[in-house]
Structure 1
């Protein structure tokens, strides 16, 4: 397409046209190529990082008051104009507008947390720790923070990291997904309008070359990543080998355990919401319902009846549908392939989304909501992350069997229990080996002043995202031991190891 617009980089406070190759950007609802994105060359990667490093050296010396004022301004601008960003997300990702707006609002929570950062980067002071000696700690920024963002939340995930990193005095380089990069450019322009100095927020578009450039650069101090587990593991191992701090959040296989005393209407509603929202392209989506056998048939009928009412279509339509398309044709076909696998392994396909078409959007990347029953736990459709609108039901006999299935999986991101039994809920929260738990809540994403992250193969590195963990990750502590001598006294010479007597 000769007239296709090219999405540039954002370097040193301005749009920078790329000098290298480009990659197509599609509207997933129509299948139309709507833009191309620049893929950074080695020289552009080096320039972007060097510019960010230079900006960090100045920004890190700015007063807390000035940094706070700019973050407040960014928050106000984001709140006023978030509708623009939602439209960009829907156009390039495909999720419906209300879901795009919800993504922005959850990211904005972290911006709002960051406005109160002075309290969270304070050090501590101990007077007279030894005679005439004070000991205190100070927290300082770490440098340039690399942020490698996934396609499924092009605004929220970067906002998990950059508000805190910038508040703490760091510069950031965001490498968005090449599938939907425009949200990051929009955020960069908003930061400039808010008064952020040039170079503190950089957007480096690209592919694996850009990722590896961040991982190997000695001017990048940390890497924050969200994506699939194999890539998270690669990011963690490569960045750590290069001496960087790493928080690499990987994939998931989130379960919903349904006990017989649960409100099955509530369960059915929440299974629909958590399984098919954003077309299942959420690392916190519920993909497996563990149903006690005695209620499984009734629950499946309730889920099935609600699925029949779902509207699937272009998320930008005035009459907003419930669910949009998947991000690419390749991903749609991959997800459909898992339905094939489940069926071959003996699962019952209760509702089949394969071959689903939306009138007027026949070239869109749609897959209808799919419900599978009696999915074998040794099937790849059960053990692997599908990342699409496929909800699997596994029938179990007891609470203990459900907990054992959850804990035997490779992932430990999020899980939920639906019950009216407080004792069962308490046992569940203590016994399941996952990082985030919902009790009658299907998608337990913590609010911004807590922290987000899983266990096992869902998180590589020691630090979760945002919350107190975020401020610890983007700062490093110095301990200072200080003595100001009384001119009337002199300590004399003592070659022994310092003691507190």
Structure 2
């Protein structure tokens, strides 16, 4: 049985805690590896290695740090196929989707290559008599990221690349469900010239997380996962004096106006709702058609599309999506569907009984489609994180704006319409952090910032883009005056620039 350890101080190390977690093959349900669960002592060893290495890395000029990023891009480009296969084998997403996972992470590394420019401060010459003012950005020191199972390449790169480029050392605690790709990413960074100790990977559970949150040597923590855990990490990290950014759950709505291109909207809903088996924080899980006529037409077009979804093993190039990550998660999603039926929603496509010949023990589930879902139902309130789409019929545009605006989650939302005034009004008024117009999954590109509102995001700064540089640096402001040869004597009032 393959065992996965940790990456500490530039070396792959076996775990010493004696505790392990199972890594499953989602296609078969079989255990394919064991991952070591780090003890407090192992996490502390990673932190010490990071603390020892960080000052020299911070003193390395930004151009040289950027060159490591450029070299890493060369290496990961050569390994994309192998990484995608590894990712797919542990997560269950299709190979094409796994490559997309890697690519969206790579784009943030590309952004981080611009760190010499991104870390530039500000300068004001002659701010006062012989006085110059300037600010500089400096790294925080040792920082950490706690990342989820659903994007085992993208989100670790979103966290680590800007942090490292800014001169920090980074502790990564990835999901124990699919840990192999983060381990390989660390090895590739070493091959690219990153000094030992600057990127450490500790696999683990709550013991590792709590050590990261409470150790005073870690200055900042980034997290992506469920909202209850995000709230815990945010509260605990802040209580221990850390800078914290946490991104939680979502319930992303897609508004379909009466004037929308219905075929385009259906294509968008099928792809955004069922891609990656719905295991995306930006998946569209609620369709909101406006008006009875729009709703009836949308349902009529959606039913055959959902019924014809091709569910297959993750290495099947013809599959629309693969298995869910674990049997436990599959059962959780099925339980949500059962609850939706019990609550009175109309299950117009039922994928609970789906079985794939030759993969009967795999974590497969067919697409499910609910109609006549109401805002008081649990399946509307809570994130299901599976191949389940709910239709909530809105009487008019105003109700369609209220639904996502009043939901406790505020990650992403989209509207499909041909009317520019409607789109402009919607983007201005809707109380959600990321908005798409005729675009179902509004994940910004790397040079803009990603972040949800309300219970989807905790903290003042978002992921990637300029916010990532702000999050991983601190600003120092210098007021300088050089002696001019004249002595003015002591000043007992607060200095002014008169």
Alignment TM-score, normalising by the size of structure 1 = 0.98
User: Which residue of the partner structure matches residue 482 of structure 1?
Assistant: 480
Q: Which moved more, 1:237-246 or 1:55-64?
A: 55-64
SS in 1 for 2:223: strand
User: Which residue of the partner structure matches residue 313 of structure 2?
Assistant: 314
CA drift of 1:308 comes to 2.8
User: Which residue of the partner structure matches residue 170 of structure 1?
Assistant: 168
CA drift of 1:494 comes to 2.1
Distance in 2 (CA, whole Å) between partners of 1:29 and 1:49 is 36
CA drift of 1:304 comes to 1.3
CA drift of 1:493 comes to 2.1
Instruction: Say if 2:27 and 2:363, in contact at 8 Å, map to a contact too.
Output: yes
Distance in 2 (CA, whole Å) between partners of 1:413 and 1:493 is 56
* Count of residue pairs brought into register by the alignment: 496
Q: Which moved more, 1:352-361 or 1:92-101?
A: 352-361
Distance in 1 (CA, whole Å) between partners of 2:197 and 2:70 is 19
Distance in 1 (CA, whole Å) between partners of 2:114 and 2:474 is 18
What is the correspondence of 1:30-429 to structure 2 with a 5 Å cutoff?
30-292=28-290, 293-317=292-316, 319-429=317-427
Deviations 1:154-176 (A, max 9, x none): 00011111111011000101000
What is the correspondence of 1:432-451 to structure 2 with a 5 Å cutoff?
432-451=430-449
Distance in 1 (CA, whole Å) between partners of 2:7 and 2:281 is 28
CA drift of 1:376 comes to 2.1
Deviations 1:128-174 (A, max 9, x none): 11101111001000011110000000000111111110110001010
Match of 2:494 among 477, 494, 497: 497
CA drift of 1:243 comes to 0.5
CA drift of 1:29 comes to 1.0
CA drift of 1:491 comes to 2.2
SS in 2 for 1:136: strand
Query: Which structure 2 segments of 5+ residues have no match?
Result: none
CA drift of 1:432 comes to 0.5
Instruction: Say if 1:345 and 1:376, in contact at 8 Å, map to a contact too.
Output: no
Deviations 1:163-202 (A, max 9, x none): 1101100010100000000011100110011010000000
Query: Which structure 1 segments of 5+ residues have no match?
Result: none
CA drift of 1:55 comes to 1.1
Deviations 1:395-443 (A, max 9, x none): 1110101111111110110000011011111110011000000000000
Distance in 2 (CA, whole Å) between partners of 1:139 and 1:45 is 28
CA drift of 1:377 comes to 1.5
CA drift of 1:354 comes to 0.7
Distance in 2 (CA, whole Å) between partners of 1:496 and 1:407 is 51
SS in 2 for 1:202: strand
Instruction: Say if 1:96 and 1:320, in contact at 8 Å, map to a contact too.
Output: no
SS in 1 for 2:463: coil
Distance in 2 (CA, whole Å) between partners of 1:390 and 1:364 is 18
Distance in 1 (CA, whole Å) between partners of 2:336 and 2:205 is 26
Instruction: Say if 2:144 and 2:170, in contact at 8 Å, map to a contact too.
Output: yes
CA drift of 1:241 comes to 0.4
Distance in 1 (CA, whole Å) between partners of 2:72 and 2:373 is 47
- Structure 1 segments, 4+ long, off by >2 Å, are none
Instruction: Say if 1:107 and 1:159, in contact at 8 Å, map to a contact too.
Output: yes
Distance in 1 (CA, whole Å) between partners of 2:337 and 2:328 is 15
Instruction: Say if 1:341 and 1:379, in contact at 8 Å, map to a contact too.
Output: no
SS in 1 for 2:90: helix
Distance in 2 (CA, whole Å) between partners of 1:498 and 1:145 is 36
CA drift of 1:57 comes to 1.7
SS in 1 for 2:305: helix
CA drift of 1:375 comes to 1.0
Distance in 2 (CA, whole Å) between partners of 1:469 and 1:296 is 39
CA drift of 1:68 comes to 1.3
Q: Which moved more, 1:308-317 or 1:81-90?
A: 308-317
SS in 1 for 2:164: helix
Distance in 2 (CA, whole Å) between partners of 1:254 and 1:87 is 29
Matched, 1:14 2:28: no
User: Which residue of the partner structure matches residue 455 of structure 1?
Assistant: 453
Distance in 2 (CA, whole Å) between partners of 1:496 and 1:322 is 71
Deviations 1:201-230 (A, max 9, x none): 000000000000100001101000000010
Distance in 2 (CA, whole Å) between partners of 1:24 and 1:342 is 31
